Structure 1
Amino acid sequence: MMRMLGPVVALLLSASPVAAAEADPRWVFYSRDTTAYTSPWYPGAHRTMIGYGCTRAPYYPPDGRCGGGHGFHHGIDVALPCGTPIRAGRRGRVVSSAAYGPAYGVRPLVIRNQRLGVDILIAHARTLLVEVGDRVGRGTTLALASDSGAPDGCHLHFEVRDAGGGLDDARRPLALLDREPA
């Protein structure tokens, strides 16, 4: 499957170039961090919209772990222009995302890294370039960023859970995002 997608990926990426400066007018930054970060998961340097943990973003119901009626965000949202390629920053195998609800978009993507014992969830992408069962290596183009299921514009939702785990198994994803200040 991956070999057949190579020409398709090249065509998609060449037909819709994405400039890092293209801002989505719907972006709202609930993170006070104004630093743009690079990561092997995406090209260019981009800001965090919503960080992991307690947030004042209105999309999340109040959570007992957070004061002031704030909700809890189980991943990191990175502002990416629509169509930005999302690449694998780690090796793994694509596993089913059938258990994930509509809050993650039409087709969330889950990559299982057996060595680390984690599932990496990529959400809000509309165009997936891999499918269940595919092995992916670092640098493999997985999807194109979109706003699928997202009220606040195109972005990457990056979440890490125990392999086969549920929402309660989500863990701080920064170490696997491998981001660096630009």
Structure 2
Amino acid sequence: MHLIAAIVLAASLATAPAPAAEPDPRWEFFTADKTYYRSPWYRHAHRIMIPFGCTRAPYYSPDPRCVKKRGFHHGIDIAMPCGTLLRSNRRAWVVSNDSLGPAYGANPILLRNYKYRFDLVIGHTRRVFVKPGDRIRPGMALGRASDSAAPDGCHLHFERRALAGSVDTAVFPRKMLRLRPKG
């Protein structure tokens, strides 16, 4: 009887949701949005640190599209504890990240979807589980969140670009991420 109870307890602990992690003291939010968002790309709900578009975050050079000499952020940064698992929500191929600069961290992931003609840059990753040439399917583990090249703590950067496009082709990635408020 004790063996059965131990097995049931172990199974319930293994499937129980993880407790909320402590916030990273370095997190700085450059948005008034205090909503926590869920996404199939990661577990639990997290806040947006820097939204897409004009931002008061000090890391970006002034951009003519923005007022008050603000910079332009080409993706969405989502605050999450270091080590948070990143899973794909799209079919794609992993391509070389050689075209990406150091601002994306040491191990950014560059996914390419030929059918829908887009690239997805995922920055600030560590323990990347995929390599160029890998075919990605929904649900596959890609890597973990980190603070590599991130002055404001652990997070993931998501940036949708045109197929083989530069940063100048980046578009609003929110729909692709399927962000939905925690409810």
- 2:133 equivalent in structure 1: 133
Q: Distance in 2 between matches of 1:56 and 1:113?
A: 32
* Pairing of 1:32-111 with structure 2 (within 5 A): 32-111=32-111
Q: Distance in 1 between matches of 2:99 and 2:150?
A: 18
Which letter maps to 1:39? S
Task: Tell me how many residue pairs correspond in the alignment.
Answer: 167
Which letter maps to 1:174? R
TM-score, with normalisation over the residues of structure 1? 0.89
Q: Distance in 2 between matches of 1:120 and 1:156?
A: 12
Q: Distance in 2 between matches of 1:160 and 1:120?
A: 5
Which letter maps to 2:81? P
Q: Distance in 2 between matches of 1:53 and 1:118?
A: 19
Q: Pick the structure with greater CA Rg.
A: 2
Q: Distance in 1 between matches of 2:69 and 2:18?
A: 37
CA contact (8 A) 1:54 1:65 kept: yes
CA contact (8 A) 1:91 1:135 kept: yes
1:53-87 Cα shifts (integer Å, max 9, x gaps): 00000000100000001000000000010000011
3-state SS in 2 of match to 1:168: helix
- 1:151 equivalent in structure 2: 151
CA contact (8 A) 1:20 1:81 kept: no
Q: Distance in 1 between matches of 2:86 and 2:42?
A: 5
- Any gaps of 5 or more consecutive residues in structure 1? 1-13
1:20-41 Cα shifts (integer Å, max 9, x gaps): 3321110001011100000001
Give the alignment's Cα RMSD to 1 decimal.
1.4
Q: Distance in 1 between matches of 2:132 and 2:18?
A: 27
Give structure 1 regions of 4+ aligned residues with deviation exceeding 6 angstroms: none
Question: Identical aligned pairs, as a percentage?
Answer: 54
3-state SS in 2 of match to 1:47: strand
Q: Distance in 2 between matches of 1:178 and 1:143?
A: 19
TM-score, with normalisation over the residues of structure 2? 0.88
